[in-house]
Amino acid sequence: MTSFPWLTVLVAVPFVGALLVAFLPRTRGPVLSKQLALGVSLLTLVVAIVIAAQYDTGGGMQLTEQHAWIPALGVHYALGVDGLGLLLILLTAVLTPIVVVASWHDADDRNPAAFFGWALALESFSLMVFSATDVFLFYVFFEATLIPAYFLIGGFGREGRAMAALKFLMYQLGGGLVMLASVLGLYVVSAQAGKPSYLLSDLSSLDMGTGAERWLFAGFFIAFAVKAPLFPLHTWLADTTQRATPGTSVLLVCVLDKIGTFGMLRYCLGIFPNASQWATPVVVTLALISIVYGALLAIGQDDLLRLIGLTSLSHFGFITLGIFVFTTQGASGSILYMVNHGIATAALFLLAGYLIRRRGTASIRRIVGVEKSAPVLAGLFLVAGLATLGLPGLSQFVSEILVLISAFDYHWWVGAVAVTGIVLAAIYVLWMYQRTMTGPGVPGVEETPDLNRREIGSVAPLVLALVLFGFYPMPLLDVSNPTVTTLLQHAGVSDQAPVVPAAGEKAQEGPQ
């Protein structure tokens, strides 16, 4: 265990910042709340970078903290970080200040202090989820993330946001209640084994019966499938992204939804490895449906934000597929996909928000010919879109290739179906760009202003990351690969290395 509680500090900084921002006197004005939120989010990023600098890429749970919380139930305040958690912590810490800058004027007509306060609270709770190594602690903050998310959706955004927030909350609470039953079941199982404990290290080595493991796995998986989202528990997604502000959608889709796939790796494979393999045929089928169905739905959308939201249904299908084919390439591709999807989709949401603010509408049919008057906006939008469809040279391509290779290794027809998602992605991205950016334009489009320096500054780091990790993804893979190896070994899976004949040795022909 580390001598200094870096992970606790990481979680505490945005939480304290959220309280300070939310309770600033109204007389101090909205500018101070924005500046304070930006300062706190940047400080959180600095702490995350310090944690990353101390992390040993050799793997294992590091920077651990452990204190008894509720001894009678075996509950601990336990934190730690491995390669999977570290990458998602860094993604969260990077995206939050970008959202603050990009959303500088999104809440001016309501209550900026509340908006940025809830955003920092969501960051804090998400960081705790990615750091927790006690299942009970994880569950508490898994549910706590719904509080700031609900108020961000329902309090800020477009008409119909209240109903979208309610739908989001009902789905998430439903999944959480199912998971609670499994959390309680873990107490019973661990108590029967000798001593109740919610520590991940204890539960991962617990010998539970086949039936109990499968039922407990189901409770966790359903909650994660809602969060991810995965077909058929996805219908809250499009309504939420359509009604929420673009900054809120970034926090929801690029950070909060990653908790679902994070949980599949950390808890489903980590605690229920046999049940995870037992459920693989069903989960792979649901993932394939999500890939194809999400892409088809996206093609038919007229609302720009709704379209981008539905693309994530397809992408989360790829991530889930990579996890449950049980290969090192698939799991590594899934973790890489989580990071790259967060970067590319965040850029798309923010650029779409800038476009909507300028044109006064999210209807694709009413946004035509923008590239002539706003070439920088159009160019950055194209790069983010090409990354989303998996163009070679941009970061998401590497992720998709790793997942597709593992899909074909699992079964040829699984890979064949998954490939159709790539083709459909090219259709909805290029058609979206063609309909909004090219063409003769609609009345008034020639007066559309280009991005200003603040807006370019908020998106530029994301675009640079898309290019950098497209050509050189090894820093991300070096961090994630040891975690993948540990998880698959725990599940009893080891990939066979390719057999290469020794130099000068001839392959034997014919029957032996």
DSSP string across 152-164: HHHHSSSTTHHHH
Q: Are strands 75-81 and 62-70 parallel, antiparallel or unpaired?
A: antiparallel
Instruction: Report the candidate in 355, 348, 349, 359 with the shortest Cα–Cα distance to residue 375.
Output: 355
Cα 343 to Cα 42, 425, 466: the distances in Å are 17, 17, 7
Whether the Cβ atoms of residue 451 and residue 377 lie closer than 8 Å to each other = yes
Cα–Cα distances in angstroms (integers) from residue 64 to residues 48, 145, 367, 508, in the given order: 15, 22, 51, 54
Q: What values do phi and psi take at 121, rounded to 5?
A: -65, -40
Give the H/E segment covering residue 343.
Answer: helix 328-359
Residue 397 covered by a domain: yes
Burial of 10-19, coded b for 16+ CB within 10 Å and e otherwise, reads bbbbbbebbe
Q: Which residue has the tokens 């336990």?
A: 78
The 3-state secondary structure of 193-256 reads: CCCCCCEHHHHCCCCCCHHHHHHHHHHHHHHHHHHCCCCCCCCHHHHHHHHCCHHHHHHHHHHH
Contact at 8 Å (CB) between 73 and 137?
no
Residue 403 burial (10 A CB sphere; 0-12, 13-18, 19+): buried
Radius of gyration over alpha carbons of the chain, in Å? 23
* Residues spanned by the domain of 435: 279-489
Question: What CA–CA distance (Å, rounded) separates 448 from 358?
Answer: 6
CA angle 403, 232, 140 (to 5 degrees): 85
Cα 297 off chain centre by? 20
Digit-by-digit pLDDT tens for the chain (512 residues) are 557 899 999 999 999 999 988 887 766 667 888 889 999 999 999 999 999 999 888 878 889 898 988 888 888 999 999 989 999 999 999 999 999 999 888 776 678 888 899 999 999 999 999 999 999 999 999 999 999 999 999 888 788 888 889 998 999 999 899 999 999 999 888 888 778 888 888 888 888 888 888 999 999 999 999 988 888 888 888 888 888 889 899 999 999 889 999 999 999 998 898 898 899 999 999 999 999 999 998 887 888 899 998 888 999 999 999 999 988 888 899 999 999 999 999 999 999 999 888 888 888 888 877 778 888 988 999 999 999 888 888 888 888 899 999 899 888 888 899 999 888 988 888 888 888 888 766 665 567 788 888 889 889 999 999 999 988 888 888 888 888 888 888 777 766 544 445 444 444 444 43
Domain presence at residue 468 = yes
CA 431/CA 296 separation, integer angstroms: 13
What is the distance of C-alpha 11 from the center of its chain?
Answer: 18
Nearest by Cα to 190 from 134, 132, 131, 139: 134
Q: Can you name the residues that pair with 81 across neighbouring β-strands?
A: 62
- Report the greatest alpha carbon distance in the chain: 89
Q: Which of 177, 207, 71 is nearest to 134 (CA)?
A: 71
Look at residue 426 and tell me if it is in a domain.
yes
Q: Which of 234, 335, 332, 242 is nearest to 292 (CA)?
A: 234
- Number of residues in the chain: 512
Determine the pLDDT at residue 30: 76
Residue 332 lies in a domain: yes
Q: Which residue has the tokens 């706590």?
A: 144
Rounded CA separation 452/457 (Å): 9
Strand, coil or helix: 489:
helix
Q: Which residues of 218-227 are buried (b: 16+ CB within 10 A; e: fewer)?
A: bbbbbbbbbb
Domain count of the fold of the chain: 1
By C-alpha distance, which of 237, 362, 256 is closest to 311?
237
Distance CA 497, CA 450 (A): 52
AA letter at 272: F
User: What pTM was computed for the model?
Assistant: 0.90
Is residue 177 one of the residues assigned to a domain? no
Q: Does residue 473 lie within any of the structural domains?
A: yes
Is 66 in a helix, a strand, or coil?
strand
Looking at the domain assignment, is residue 364 inside a domain? yes
DSSP string computed for 252-294: IIIIITHHHHHHIIIIIIHH-HHHHHHTHHHHHHHHHHHHHHH
**Residue 194: is it exposed, middle or buried by C-beta count within 10 angstroms (0-12/13-18/19+)?**
exposed
Residue partners of 307: CB distance under 8 A and separation at least 6: 298, 301, 364, 428, 432
**pLDDT for the residue numbered 29:** 67
Q: Please provide the distance, in angstroms rounded to a whole number, between the alpha carbons at the two ends of the chain.
A: 57
Establish if 455 belongs to a structural domain.
yes
Tokens of 445: 């489009």
